[in-house]
């Protein structure tokens, strides 16, 4: 009888231990360095947002948050590193939407965001600006579309990371002619290729550097894909204002913090609550605004809902036979 009682107590203790450890890990999280993986090259908006978040969270938790850039293979290098790390909250990623773009458009993509990833929070969002090389003869979006139709296959588009799916949808809405694609590891190298004249056009978020390049005549800013004009480039019309047949059109870029799906819910909640505090920190929101984006700290549930809706748009485009890459 005593032996049976001892075995029962031992089983209860064994079952309780993981629960106790989980509660403790969430309560004292983080108590060591947290790694933030960025699937893009340094210098672009995702990298910049990641560094803003890292600095804020370091101050909040008094622990190091270290940014690690892992560009390559449309984000696959970074997501592979993320998902091979322990799901304990000490390895997270800050990423734009390439993980849902690739899932929708690449049948060989090895990850499934619903199964493999936990959404901690959306952090920021904005529209895109259509950027053409200063060498292109077009002076507005309508002329640029006409040029693409008159010169099929002669324009090449810089593809920053995995955002080609967004601009495939935009090109289709504009009725542009076929283009060639040049792939880059992020927005910063794509912009540099436009500035140097090696690439004809691309779509990127509005960065202050673009305004300077425009003043120098090295790029042309043809249209903005938000519903309202962007405050950094108020002279640039929206796509709806560009007289190209669009009405109530919007195309959005966003950045989110994600973690492996095995991350304990209490750790996700603790990290999400800390991230939400960024919205009330003027030094954070002003920095994000200076990068051309709007701060957008959403709960995990709201983040999942927004991302799921956009993923369905990509799926619908693929199902309709639209070429996405």
- Mean predicted lDDT score pLDDT of the chain: 87
For residue 20, the model assigns a pLDDT of 43
Contact 69, 44 (CB under 8 A): no
**DSSP output for 135-193:** TSS--SHHHHHHHHHHSTTT-EEEEETTTHHHHHHHHHHHTPPP-EEEEESSHHHHHHH
How far is it, in rounded angstroms, from Cα 138 to Cα 144? 5
What class has domain 31-125+253-319?
Answer: alpha beta
* 204 strand-pairing partners: 129
What is the rounded distance in angstroms from the CA atom of residue 315 to the CA atom of residue 237?
Answer: 29
CATH class of 129-241: alpha beta
Q: Where are the domains of the chain?
A: 31-125+253-319, 129-241
Q: What is the pLDDT of residues 123-151, one digit of tens each?
A: 999 888 999 999 999 999 999 999 999 99
Spacing of C-alpha 171 from chain mean position:
20
CA distance 60 to 28: 13
What pLDDT score does 23 carry? 47
- Of 135, 160, 138, 292, nearest to 226 by C-alpha is 292
pLDDT tens, residue by residue, 56-87 = 999 999 999 999 999 988 889 999 999 999 99
pLDDT (tens digit per residue) in 235-289: 999 999 999 999 988 888 899 999 999 999 999 999 999 999 999 999 999 999 8
The model's pTM: 0.77
Does this chain's domain 31-125+253-319 share its CATH topology with 129-241?
yes
């Amino acid at each position: 009888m005593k032996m049976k009682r001892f075995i029962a107590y031992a089983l209860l203790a064994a079952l309780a231990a993981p629960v106790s450890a989980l509660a403790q890990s969430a309560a004292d999280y983080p108590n060591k360095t947290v790694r933030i993986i960025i699937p893009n090259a340094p210098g672009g908006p995702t990298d910049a947002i990641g560094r803003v978040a890292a600095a804020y969270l370091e101050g909040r938790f008094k622990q190091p948050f270290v940014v690690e850039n892992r560009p390559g293979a449309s984000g696959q290098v970074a997501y592979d590193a993320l998902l091979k790390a322990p799901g304990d909250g000490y390895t997270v990623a800050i990423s734009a939407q390439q993980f849902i773009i690739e899932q929708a458009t690449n049948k060989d993509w090895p990850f499934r965001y619903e199964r493999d990833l936990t959404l901690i929070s959306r952090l920021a969002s904005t529209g895109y600006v259509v950027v053409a090389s200063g060498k292109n003869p077009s002076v507005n979006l309508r002329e640029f579309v006409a040029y693409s139709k008159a010169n099929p296959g002669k324009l090449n588009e810089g593809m920053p990371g995995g955002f080609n799916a967004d601009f495939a949808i935009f090109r289709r809405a504009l009725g542009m002619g076929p283009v060639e694609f040049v792939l880059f590891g992020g927005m910063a190298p794509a912009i540099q290729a436009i500035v140097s004249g090696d690439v004809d056009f691309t779509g990127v978020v509005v960065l202050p550097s673009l305004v300077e390049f425009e003043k120098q005549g090295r790029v042309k800013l043809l249209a903005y894909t938000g519903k309202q004009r962007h405050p950094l480039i108020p002279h640039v019309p929206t796509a709806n204002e560009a007289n190209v047949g669009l009405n109530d059109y919007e195309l959005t870029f966003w950045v989110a913090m994600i973690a492996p799906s095995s991350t304990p819910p209490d750790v996700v909640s603790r990290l999400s609550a800390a991230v939400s505090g960024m919205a009330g920190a003027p030094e954070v929101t002003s920095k994000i605004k200076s990068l051309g984006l709007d701060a957008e700290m959403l709960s995990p549930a709201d983040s999942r809902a927004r991302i799921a809706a956009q993923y369905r748009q990509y799926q619908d485009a693929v199902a309709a036979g639209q070429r996405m890459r």
